[in-house]
Structure 1
Amino acid sequence: MSLRLPDDRHLAPAEALRPASIPGSKSATNRALILAALAPGTTRLRGGLEAEDTRWMRQALGALGCPVTEAEGTWTVAGGARPKAAAPLWLGASGTTLRFLLPWLALRGEGAIQLEGDPRLFERPLGPLLAPLEALGARWEPGSNGARLHPADSPPRRLELTVDARLSSQFLTGLALAAAALPEGGVLRWTEAASPSYLALTTQWLHRFGCGAHLEPRAWTIPGGALAPRDLDLPGDWSGAAAFLAAAAATGRSLRVAPLDPEDAQGDRALVDILRTAGCVVVWKGTQDLEVTGPLLRGFDADLTDCPDLGPVLAGLAALAPGSSELRGLHTLPLKECDRLEASAELVRWLGGTAEVVGDHTLRIAPGAPLGDRPLFNPRNDHRMAFAAAVGGLRRGGELLDPGCVAKTFPGFWEVWTRMLGC
């Protein structure tokens, strides 16, 4: 299946893009779901993301004895049970689901648990997370379609761990969530962490569930036994908003996006400052509506260490910019759902620009124009590469293979995108 990418050629020169409503945050939703399962009692969540990644988390929690029910837009989570699975857990391609669940299951699970999912899920790094769990008595048996986890014989009361988090901050997040459910909590230490802004996001959500975690540059103190059920509204997704905010920059028009939380700790909120620095006007309208007005006046010079998932969308936008760009801090992109660093370079070339990958962390981009007919762009079954292609297609057209891959985090993306353009 393929899709002819919608573009802005039918719009009048001064016409604004139509407002875009984005779904809930995957990062917040999966953190809130597992905290709700860990907190003894009944939690109610509103505005959660309805997508593949969060569906796998909800189904896994239900299979582990913490059912998630839905009524009138509210998810109700029965938390506090020790996890036990009578059948294999299917986790799809969701890295957050696997990495957030794994420490809890390894330290508190009852009986062996079979974990299954897309092949790419188990190709992504897990060793630095498994090492401390195995030192505490858990066992990991890889198989042809996943792995079998044997939990530690007796749960610890407290964690005192030094973790190699250079490949993913999700290792630390999973351990912090598990520590919060232990009687005495714990302290996690590290030398370097990938995407450290996500640790601040986890701390924000620990606080919302009653755990007064304290985050320092290389240490995290997590009090134990303080988690409590909550009644919460979940924020909109800055990651899902990125392509829409970039659309205003690409087309030189105005666009209002909502709902977004200006105080959200999610790292992708950095896009506001990145677009401002490149010449866009960015203004908050009320408490949840963000308005961006393009066009870009220059290329990007941006360090994305705290927000590497912005890399693909910014690469697609950089191919349309009036000058060259350099995106740094991308060393985790090859370890995502696909090798997003190489895929982003491929997208830039498909859009007519030039792209140079420098080491494993930098992408240098010069804009250009596509020559002649182009093949379909293959997003490699990666939702963020599809979002990035949509941005580039606003000015370059083209055809996208497998547009349905956006269902991982934003099932209604194409409907909202074409509505934004008035198509």
Structure 2
Amino acid sequence: MPDSVLLLPPAHPLRGRVAPPGSKSITNRALPLAALAKGTSRLTGALKSDDTRHMATALRAMGVRIEEPDETSFTVTGTGRLQAPDSPLFLGNAGTATRFLTALCALVEGTVTVSGDEHMQKRPIRPLVDALTRLGVSVDAPTGCPPVTIHGRGSFTGTRVVIDAGLSSQYVSALLMLAPAGANPIEVALEGDDIGARGYIDLTCAAMRAFGAAIRQEGAARWIVQPSGYRAADFAIEPDASAATYLWAAEVLTGGAIDIGTAPERFTQPDAKAYDIIRQFPQMPPVIDGSQMQDAVPTLAALAAFNETPVRFVGIANLRVKECDRIAAMATELSRLSPGLAREEGDDLLVSPVSLDRMGSAAIETYADHRIAMSMALTGLRVPGVRILDPGCVAKTYPDYWRDLSRLGVEMGRSEV
């Protein structure tokens, strides 16, 4: 991959059909659930990217047979148990895989260390570690971030756990996915009602049920999970809604017509809610609550730079603990196009659009964050001279992003320095 990509604003609306990759969120739920099931599961429509490869590689290291018959399928054969790996599990900057496997390694008989790259080692995991400890799992995370060491005993003793999910709904999902492997029914409850991206817990529950789990939600903050274990299943994975937001935004920015092969209302992922806001461009609402569509916020922020009126993004404090501090990153990088185009106000992000003639060329830092790269690339559809540094970071979730833009008619210059 080149060191940078220079986007040339298209002289015509973008038209054509490109299919976004499979959902990262669903693929990284289906893989470990199939691994914990007895028998062979077939996952179709799956995402093959850095994040899902980290998950698959870790599961293979724990004795799960995973085959890849084609570019969008996994065949997973599990025994219902996980084995202790020979070495630490390195998961790069894959937050979903790190949190889910930290919980599921409680089922290993032996010691497992879950680690990641320098970025992952700054992402908090203490609330999950504390919750696992209350379930009777022996876990060490001296810094409150990875690496995490789990001293597995093949099972756990707790029957009720309360979790602070204010930083991430993935903590709840990790506990829910672990629960069916217990010896007794388990109650998972929230500490307060504050939770990021609640819709992702619904994705977790739906995937668990597809693999035979018995889970019941009681009210807004409590789930009861039976010790059902998991059974093998054939499971179809829908396209990635977060990836779809870039294509929806590219369509409205250029006045084009892009067919992604899936109607917006057919998505079950939370980020699909962004479609209704994108369709309002260039009259997006003055305040957008991003709490339940967090990964779509960078897309919407890039789009807001060309809105008719300012847009304030609220409910997005959790974006500070993603692959990078996305609030600071978007404020900084949008302002490279025009000073003050975006700024932080507490944990809000305020985007104050200016006329196109007041925007200029810029080299965009991506902070090794795929979403910063893909969302800021959208600005290059309008502003000449936008160069995206480290474009290869999109491989985390959308390896063919640049190819798909090219297929739609976007011309790009590439360079290595």
Same fold, judged at TM 0.5 (above): yes
2:415 equivalent in structure 1: none
CA–CA distance in 2 between the matches of 1:373 and 1:137?
54
* Secondary structure of 2:149 counterpart: strand
2:101 equivalent in structure 1: 101
Shift of 1:189: 0.7
Taking a change above 3 Å as real, the CA distance of residues 247 and 141 of structure 1, as seen in their structure-2 partners, is closer
1:18 equivalent in structure 2: 16
Taking a change above 3 Å as real, the CA distance of residues 272 and 141 of structure 1, as seen in their structure-2 partners, is closer
Shift of 1:372: 7.2
Equivalent residue in structure 2 for 1:66, among 64, 69, 82: 64
1:111 equivalent in structure 2: 110
* Secondary structure of 1:151 counterpart: strand
CA–CA distance in 2 between the matches of 1:38 and 1:337?
28
> Is 1:131 the equivalent of 2:133?
no
Deviations 1:67-114 (A, max 9, x none): 211113531111212331112211111000010111111x21111113
> Is 1:359 the equivalent of 2:346?
yes
CA–CA distance in 1 between the matches of 2:287 and 2:277?
9
State the TM-score, normalized to the length of structure 1. 0.89
Shift of 1:141: 5.1
Matched AA of 1:407: A
2:406 equivalent in structure 1: 418
The answer on whether the counterparts of 1:176 and 1:222 sit within 8 Å (CA) in structure 2 is yes
1:341 equivalent in structure 2: 327
Taking a change above 3 Å as real, the CA distance of residues 422 and 309 of structure 1, as seen in their structure-2 partners, is closer
Give the share of equivalent positions with the same residue, in percent: 32
2:393 equivalent in structure 1: 405
Taking a change above 3 Å as real, the CA distance of residues 252 and 263 of structure 1, as seen in their structure-2 partners, is closer
CA–CA distance in 1 between the matches of 2:132 and 2:214?
24
CA–CA distance in 1 between the matches of 2:152 and 2:133?
8
Taking a change above 3 Å as real, the CA distance of residues 150 and 158 of structure 1, as seen in their structure-2 partners, is closer
Paired positions, count: 399
CA–CA distance in 1 between the matches of 2:264 and 2:180?
25
CA–CA distance in 1 between the matches of 2:26 and 2:137?
30
Farther off after superposition, 235-244 or 79-88: 79-88
Matched AA of 1:194: G
Shift of 1:269: 1.0
Deviations 1:369-396 (A, max 9, x none): 4657544110111000011111111101
Matched AA of 1:342: A
Equivalent residue in structure 2 for 1:253, among 251, 256, 264: 256
Deviations 1:243-281 (A, max 9, x none): 1101112122222212467343311010122224x25xx
Farther off after superposition, 39-48 or 153-162: 153-162
Matched AA of 2:273: A
The answer on whether the counterparts of 1:195 and 1:306 sit within 8 Å (CA) in structure 2 is yes
Taking a change above 3 Å as real, the CA distance of residues 178 and 4 of structure 1, as seen in their structure-2 partners, is same
CA–CA distance in 1 between the matches of 2:157 and 2:139?
19
The answer on whether the counterparts of 1:6 and 1:393 sit within 8 Å (CA) in structure 2 is yes
* Secondary structure of 2:382 counterpart: helix
Taking a change above 3 Å as real, the CA distance of residues 400 and 154 of structure 1, as seen in their structure-2 partners, is closer
Shift of 1:20: 1.8
Equivalent residue in structure 2 for 1:383, among 370, 373, 379: 370
Q: Which runs of 5+ in 2 are unaligned?
A: 412-417
CA–CA distance in 1 between the matches of 2:214 and 2:255?
44
Equivalent residue in structure 1 for 2:48, among 47, 50, 60: 50
> Is 1:303 the equivalent of 2:289?
yes
The answer on whether the counterparts of 1:29 and 1:49 sit within 8 Å (CA) in structure 2 is yes
Deviations 1:315-335 (A, max 9, x none): 100001122112111110010
CA–CA distance in 2 between the matches of 1:384 and 1:230?
32
- The aligned runs of 1:230-269 (5 Å cut-off) are 230-259=233-262, 262-269=265-272
CA–CA distance in 1 between the matches of 2:353 and 2:239?
31
* Secondary structure of 2:349 counterpart: strand
Q: Which runs of 5+ in 1 are unaligned?
A: 280-295
Higher relative contact order (CA 8 A, sep 6+): 2
CA–CA distance in 1 between the matches of 2:346 and 2:197?
18
Matched AA of 1:78: T
1:223 equivalent in structure 2: 226
Farther off after superposition, 212-221 or 309-318: 212-221
* Secondary structure of 2:31 counterpart: helix
* Secondary structure of 2:307 counterpart: coil
The answer on whether the counterparts of 1:311 and 1:344 sit within 8 Å (CA) in structure 2 is no
Taking a change above 3 Å as real, the CA distance of residues 38 and 356 of structure 1, as seen in their structure-2 partners, is same
1:392 equivalent in structure 2: 379
Q: CA RMSD in A?
A: 2.1
* Secondary structure of 2:407 counterpart: helix
